[in-house]
Amino acid sequence: MTNPLLDTWDTPFGLPPFDRIEDAHFAPAIEAAMEEGLAEVEAVATNPEPPTFENTIEGLMRTGAALDRVLGVFYNLAGADSTDAREEIMREFSPKLAAHSAVIYGNKALFSRIEQVWLAREALDLTPEQARVLMLTHRGFVRAGAALTGDDAARMKELKGRLATLGTQFGQNLLADERDWQRALSEDELEGLPGFVIDAVRAAGRERGADGPVLTLSRSVIVPFLQFCPNRALREEAWRAWVARGENGGKTDNREIAAEILALRQERAKLLGYDDFASYKLETEMAKTPEAVRGLLMDVWEPAKARALEDAALLEERMRADGVNGPLQAWDWRYYSEARRREEFALNEAELKPYLQLERMIEAAFSCANRLFGLEFRALDVPLYHKDARAWEVTRNGKHVAVFIGDYFARASKRSGAWCSAMRSQRKFPDVQGPIVVNICNFAKGDPALLSYDDARTLFHEFGHALHQMLSDVTYEMISGTSVARDFVELPSQLYEHWLEVPEVLQEFATHAETGEAMPKEMLDKVLAAATYDMGFQTVEYVASALVDLAFHEGEPPADPMAEQARVLADLGMPESIVMRHATPHFAHVFTGDGYSSGYYSYMWSEVMDADAFEAFEEAGGAFDPAMAEKLERFILSAGGSEEADVLYTQFRGRMPGVDALLKGRGLAA
């Protein structure tokens, strides 16, 4: 039997043959691709010719293509449309893939060749891009433990395997808690909810095969429920289930897993000669040190907390007026904040949502990309992995640029949140590859599907990541697209959110689902005026999470992460009516892999730049200024990781920014 994952993909644009791929194909394909990849690496390592950039660095880049292709498909499906079989494959292969990577990075003959090329670099007449790739390759091997020997090398291999297993288990536990909890709602309990929330819980009930409406822990369902449900006891029940993900006891509890992950990360960092994991992790980021990260976060924390406490007092007054005594609780904040927003801005999300149709917001994101970068989007009729996923060919001046896949609706098989990934990244070596870029979101279904303003911002955010992938124009895949410093990667995504707030964009695309009429200017003005509403709350819940993440990885790891979380929040004076956006047991950013560990601050680090970058457009000639768009593409979007992030930003803007633009953008400036 042939395995479609290993066959040549004779499909439009080289898309995976999703209609032929079955779960049973993944394990043998991964095994075969790993074996093939190791043979390719060994051929590079044992090449009898003296090491050169071409036969060693480029030679290494030619290896592992089959595995990259198979895993590109598998990990996208495992996150967006999980099955029991896919979860089992992840559990089986996470340690195997970690061991596979450890074998490559532990290949002494290969590292010797890389080291020789590195030491001879001044005499090699490399292009700037080649010099960058050589540095990153050498640094990557050293940071992975290639220079370790004996027991230290063996222990590093063990650590990587165990961390891979634990990260997979953490994510699967979280998905299980989100998937398994549901609360059937009676018709009486729907009273007071706006139509779009009722539609969402009915759709969730249908998706789960229930007889009636069901409340789930999907963010697109539970957040609006907490905003609008007048039943305080029901709000508390729902909120407690939401924040308890990962700490319900039993086999899906993540607390001990988090503690072990932190201890193993610290051991890994010390094996490599670092004082702690934060120092190891931040060395390659723009921030460089834990002190720089804490400085930024605390510059924002104090004005954000002050604003949040002011807002809390106002919300508590409203609660008292409702006859509720006692302090404002976390399950009260969204409800009374929504009521206050309706009053202060005369802005009702139930009235706003019909103007934010999913289809029209997709059109808006595409239209902005067309006006800025000349991109055009043509819907494709091709087999995909789920009936909700859709695909477009992206072209410019008639030439193929990329394939873009959008998968927008929440479902029980999809992990929570929103993300962008590439099933195939852009490159010119060893052959030209047009990227296949995927945006995953978790919006509530409806007919038509309506978004909250935050949902619409999420759509633009993830599409900003997609543009970073699609417009990449480098030679080597390892510096392609979003392969940049973690605290720089959010710049394109957060910057693109600003175009949603451009009045002419909303005037054109924010049209009513029933009447087709454009959003009235009065409502548009209210939307823009309310853009920084509740920013104290939003900033506090985010910065608290980032500071806890930093504390976990700086110094010796805590034996009890929950106690350390409580200590950090107490030291900060965390407002009692606000909780961390991501408490430890469901902090997937930090514990499902190393990507955002010690790095959750990076959204705010990038926000300092995105606020400043959009100001550059406004100073130049407006949101669609062609000269600024050209500079944005040339120095940021197309450049990938071809230079250090601060160099790229300075080339774009002429200087590095300060925190002032961020505070102004969040409405927190004094």
Q: What is the pLDDT of residues 616-634, one digit of tens each?
A: 999 999 999 999 999 999 9
Neighbours of 515 (CB within 10 A): 9
Query: Residue 670: pLDDT above 80?
Result: no
54 and 161 inside one domain: yes
The pLDDT, as a whole number, for residue 1 is 66
Closest C-alpha to 63, from 107, 15, 17? 107
379 and 458 inside one domain: yes
* Dihedral class, residue 138 (left if φ above 0, else alpha if ψ from -120 to 50, else beta): alpha
Q: Give a yes or no: residue 109 inside a domain.
A: yes
Question: What average pLDDT does the segment 343-356 reach?
Answer: 91
Domain boundary among 153, 172, 191: 172
164 and 46 inside one domain: yes
Selected catalytic residue, list 40, 316, 462, 541: 462
Domain boundary among 228, 244, 260: 244
The domain that holds 42 is classified in CATH as 1.10.1370.40
**2-48: per-residue pLDDT in tens?**
999 999 999 999 999 999 999 999 999 999 999 999 999 999 999 99
Number of independent structural domains in the chain? 3
Which residue's structure tokens are 């005369």? 346
Assign 511 to helix, strand or coil. strand
Domain boundary among 172, 190, 206: 172
Q: Give a yes or no: residue 566 inside a domain.
A: no
221 and 162 inside one domain: no
Closest C-alpha to 488, from 369, 372, 592, 639? 639
40 and 110 inside one domain: yes
376 and 460 inside one domain: yes
Neighbours of 292 (CB within 10 A): 16
Q: Which domain holds residue 401?
A: 354-529+603-665
Q: Give a yes or no: residue 657 inside a domain.
A: yes
617 and 491 inside one domain: yes
The pLDDT, as a whole number, for residue 665 is 87
* Cis status of the peptide bond prior to 558, with omega within 30 of 0: no
Q: Give a yes or no: residue 545 inside a domain.
A: no
- Residue 227: which residues within 8 A CB-CB, separation 6 or more? 334, 335, 337, 338, 349
86 and 212 inside one domain: no
123 and 221 inside one domain: no
Q: Give a yes or no: residue 118 inside a domain.
A: yes
141 and 187 inside one domain: no
The pLDDT, as a whole number, for residue 416 is 87
Question: pTM of the full predicted structure?
Answer: 0.93
Q: Give a yes or no: residue 554 inside a domain.
A: no
Q: Is 462 a catalytic residue?
A: yes
**56-111: per-residue pLDDT in tens?**
999 999 999 999 999 999 999 999 999 999 999 999 999 999 999 999 999 999 99
Q: Give a yes or no: residue 201 inside a domain.
A: yes
The pLDDT, as a whole number, for residue 669 is 85
The pLDDT, as a whole number, for residue 247 is 97
Separation CA 480–CA 478 (nearest Å): 6
**543-589: per-residue pLDDT in tens?**
999 999 999 999 999 999 999 999 999 999 999 999 999 999 999 99
Whole-number Cα distances in Å, 571 to 177, 297, 414, 553, 564: 30, 14, 36, 17, 11
142 and 34 inside one domain: yes
156 and 189 inside one domain: no
Q: Give a yes or no: residue 113 inside a domain.
A: yes
Per-residue burial over 392-419, b if 16 or more Cβ lie within 10 Å, else e, is bbbebeeeebbbbbbbbbbbbbbbbebe
